[in-house]
A and B are shown apart, each in its own frame.
Chain A
Amino acid sequence: MIRSSLLGASLLLVAALALPGAGPAGAQTKPKAKPKAAAGAPAPALLAQGKQVYIQYCLSCHQADGGGVQNMNPPLTKTEYVLGDKARLTNILVHGFAEKVEIQGETYRNVMPAHDFLTDAQMAAVLTYVRNSFGNKASAISVAEVKATRAAGK
């Protein structure tokens, strides 16, 4: 359901802009060039669902603006961890993350716990929300992609 609406939105965009080769699932190219951000945005219902998951499970550490916490919890903005490889990002959510990490010259240390209790649909929604919030613009992550990443293991 979610996936098909996403697909529809993306296909519409592709048709409208006549972008070559920007498939809905594999849209790795940076969408900065798009003239109208809203045109390429994931469906509002999906983002709303993602926001709900974010508020419940992510906000207390990453904060309402996605900016994280100095020295502790990494920001979700302007980072390849969020904007880059989708499988890596999905794995962080599934398995957690316990490495000291440097983003934009700042070091962050707190452990991120595994969130494997979330459903595939919740994960797809929240990851898509994070990739399209706080100033971020990146392609959606589908339920099928989450399923595949989880099946592949860590």
Chain B
Amino acid sequence: MKTSALRYALLPAVLAGGAALFALAPAAPRVAPDPGNAGLKLPAGFGALVVAETGGKARHLAVSPEGTVYVKLNKPTAQGGILVLKPTATGKATVTSGFGNYGGTGMYLKNGYLYASSDKDVYRYKLDAKNQVVSPSQPELVVAGLKLGQEHESKSIVLDDAGNLYVNVGAYSNSCQVKDREKGSMGIANCPVLDSAGGIWQFKADGQRQRQAQGTRYATGLRNVVGLDWNAKDNQLFVMQHGRDQLHDIFPAMYDEKTSSQLPAECMYAVKGGDNAGWPYIYYDPAKHEKMLAPEYGGDGKKAVTDKYINPVAAYPAHMAPNALLFYTGTMFPAKYRNGAFIAFHGSWNRAPEPQMGYFVAFQPFKDGKPNGPYEVFADNFSGSAAKTASGRADHRPCGLAQGPDGSLYVSDDSKGTIFRIVYNK
């Protein structure tokens, strides 16, 4: 049923392109999509299914080679703060257990360990040969006592291939004003937030009880990074920054509401040790393609900055909140997706009174380890409708991304707790 519908949908494109008809030969779908692709809008040939309804605030997730899905919840349920989902024959999964009595965001599986973060600490759980957690109640405390303020509390994590752990410590401030988010309040000189936050810290992935001061401030001037991933192809960390809010609210004479809804860009940075991305002193204007001096530090919306701060490698519309970044290395999807980046845009709030945007998974093509060309909306309509996107009252908000062993793409939603799976059936 699904396959034939897909064939008809593909038919016009194939005929127009004059492509060989045997491209339509219905290879048995590896995993059957849900009717209507679980409400998602996808490129031709892709399908989606709901893996499970967790009912929790599903932040980041990891999928083992056996197909077990580990989901980190922002707030523990009765089952715990990490849910274990076991796969079934249909491609869906069942929540079989949970552990960890803490909320948080980070979830990453590597080298025989499952790493998880609360808003203060990073833990790791030893996995057995089948990638099952050996002692759910006895994790190792890898990093302890990270800086936690009132905002940007997510401690997103990723590992490189050299035994290092990277942890986001978000700035506990919007723009380092004397009075956070207050109209007209200016920036604090030598922003003290940067001493302990507003950057990425590097730790030993096998360390024990490492304090923040024992780690290395790997990159600074990053306001808040929820989505990050290690690019194995060019052996480099990539991060997605949540740009600053409220230019109009704070400096109404310099920025009208429409301008404020379009500034600054949500930026992708390729990060090397010692880099400074410039928060809170600058923001990136996606129309001018320039780093602008922040109004809190003497800017007026017109003064550009060309100095020590790194440039983004890609820029996206303002306020869409990139909450996950994933370099795709699978073979299920067509070749153009390989080594490109998927980005989960959680969706905006700070564009109001302009219509909200986001609530989709984007694809950023890459070539030679660098973004190549504009991004594409890959999986859309998590919100449920155009009206729900505009109002911001979205049904689902994409927050985490993970690649399954077969190359399918898992997406978590921290609003209703739905876990989606996107497959390609050529």
Contact = CB atoms under 8 A, between A and B. Distances in A.
B246 A109 contact: no
B415 A60 contact: no
Give the bracket for the number of chain A residues in contact with chain B: 20 to 34
A67 B248 CA distance: 21
A69 interface: yes
Nearest to B351: A60
Interface string B174-205: 00000111110100000000000000000000
Interface residues of B, number: 24
B352 A111 contact: no
Contacts of B75: 107
Contacts of B150: 98, 100, 109-111
Given A100-B150, A110-B150, A72 B349 contact: yes
Contacts of B350: 60
Interface in B345-374: 349-350, 352-353
B391 interface: yes
B387 to A, nearest CB: 12
Interface string B388-420: 000111000100000000000000000100000
B392 A114 contact: no
A60 B179 contact: no
A110 B181 contact: yes
Interface string B327-361: 00000000000000000000001101100000000
A148 interface: no
Candidate in A96, A100, A111 with the most chain B CB atoms within 10 angstroms: A111
A115 B181 CA distance: 11
A145 B225 CA distance: 44
Contacts of A98: 150, 180
Interface string B230-274: 000000000000000010110000000100000000000000000
Contacts of A96: 179, 182
Contacts of A73: 349
Nearest to B150: A109
A59 interface: yes
Interface in A63-106: 63-65, 67, 69-73, 96, 98, 100
B352 A64 contact: yes
B180 A113 contact: yes
Contacts of A109: 150-151, 153
A60 B248 contact: yes
A55 interface: yes
A148 to B, nearest CB: 24
A113 B181 contact: yes
Contacts of B185: 113
Contacts of A61: 249, 349
Given A110-B150, A113-B183, A114-B179, A60 B246 contact: yes
Contact of B151 (A57, A64, A65, A72): A72
A107 B150 CA distance: 11
Contacts of B180: 98, 111, 113
Given A59-B353, A72-B349, A114 B391 contact: no
8 contacts: A59-B353, A60-B249, A70-B397, A98-B180, A109-B150, A113-B182, A113-B183, A114-B179
